[in-house]
Amino acid sequence: MKKKIWLVMGTIGVLLFGGCGGKASDMMMEAVDGRGEYVTNSVGDMYYSKSESMADMEFESTMDSATGNSGIGFGEQGYAETELYNTQGEKLIRTVTMSLQTKEFETLLSYLDGKVAELGGYIQNSQISGNSMDSYGYRYATLTLRIPQSKLDLFVSGVSENANVVRKSENAENVTLQYADTEARLKSLQIEQERFLALLEKADTVDSIIVLEEHLTQLRYEIESHASMLKIYDNKVDYSTVTLDISEVKRTTPVEQNPTLLTRMKDGFSNTWYQMKEGGANFLVWLVSNFLYLVIWVAIFVVVILFVRKKLKLKKRNHIATKTAELMQTDEEENDRMDIEK
């Protein structure tokens, strides 16, 4: 009798546990799909079910609401993105790189600071070097600027008027597709989060609450990730990046389109003459600047030479003395031998 009672209680517990787990799973499916019905199978268990056509309709409706398109199906428009892009405009990330020469270094930097502030941009990075004997007094600067995209062309035009542009390159990256995909995914995740929050308020079992909260945690992480990506896109699109390499020079390099042979010869001779003058002037500056070092090194060199010569003379004198002594000894031996023979 006791065995039958324990068997009945165990069966009831298994059925209750399976019912709770099935209910939590059905609530998750309802949150994702947003529509469905519970049916009973032949055994008497309830489960969540819907037709394949209904799932497709709900997916299409969800994506339409997420992308802001009403009444446009994915099958009819291919991807249903054309209207979305036309309403929000293209997303272009523009970057400009310029190499500049200037005779008025401080004036150009002051102009750039004022122009950036006037246009509503900001300086992201600034590096200035030079102004030392090793660089012959010339200075260099590398600036990374963020300029509102709507005023980028105005800024570039102003820079070209106030400095000699040696090199210039532009790049425009179209991120409209990436932006729209990220935005649509974010809205879809937000809708799914709202449905799970609504189901969490109705949950009446611990298992259901745990399952729903775990999924909500994952949803929050994905929502924050996509929102952060959209902010990065917005910043790069709204503020173009301009990189300026500035060199201080005494003579700017002329830039001429399709120069003639005579012009090239004239410019070549002028450049050679200028480089010779600059080279001579730089050598003179180096010589005067390092005069004390040269005197010290010359003095050391002279002392070393005198020391070596003295050593060589002493060695030569010792060698001669040795040879003389050997000759004298040889003469004495020869005389002694002759005396003995007599």
Whether 198 is in a domain gets the answer yes
pLDDT band at 252 (very low <50, low <70, confident <90, very high): confident
Q: What integer pLDDT is reported at residue 172 of this predicted model?
A: 94
CB 45 within 8 A of CB 22: yes
Least confident of 90-104, 202-216, 223-237, 317-331: 317-331
Structure tokens at 252: 């700017």
| Helix residue ranges per DSSP H, the chain | 2-33, 52-67, 74-77, 82-88, 105-118, 152-162, 176-202, 206-238, 261-289, 291-341
Q: What's the whole-number average pLDDT of the chain?
A: 75
Whether 229 is in a domain gets the answer yes
Q: What integer pLDDT is reported at residue 235 of this predicted model?
A: 94
* pLDDT per residue as tens digits for the range 277-299: 777 877 787 888 888 888 899 99
Whether 39 is in a domain gets the answer no
Whether 180 is in a domain gets the answer yes
Number of domains in the chain: 1
Residue 161's domain comprises 59-71+82-254
Give the pLDDT mean for 153-160: 94
Residue 184 has pLDDT above 80, yes or no: yes
Give the pLDDT mean for 170-198: 94
Whether 26 is in a domain gets the answer no
Closest CA to 204 of 79, 19, 12: 19
Most confident listed range (23-27, 37-41, 241-245): 241-245
Whether 156 is in a domain gets the answer yes
Q: What is the pTM (predicted TM-score) of this model?
A: 0.55
Whether 243 is in a domain gets the answer yes
Instruction: Round to whole Å and give the CA distance between 246 and 258.
Output: 25
Residue 308 has pLDDT above 80, yes or no: yes
Q: What integer pLDDT is reported at residue 275 of this predicted model?
A: 72
Instruction: Round to whole Å and give the CA distance between 128 and 302.
Output: 43
Structure tokens at 142: 């590398």
Give the pLDDT mean for 3-23: 45
Instruction: Round to whole Å and give the CA distance between 319 and 195.
Output: 110
Residue 174 has pLDDT above 60, yes or no: yes
42 or 225, which is more confident? 225
Q: What integer pLDDT is reported at residue 265 of this predicted model?
A: 77
Whether 33 is in a domain gets the answer no
Q: What integer pLDDT is reported at residue 262 of this predicted model?
A: 77
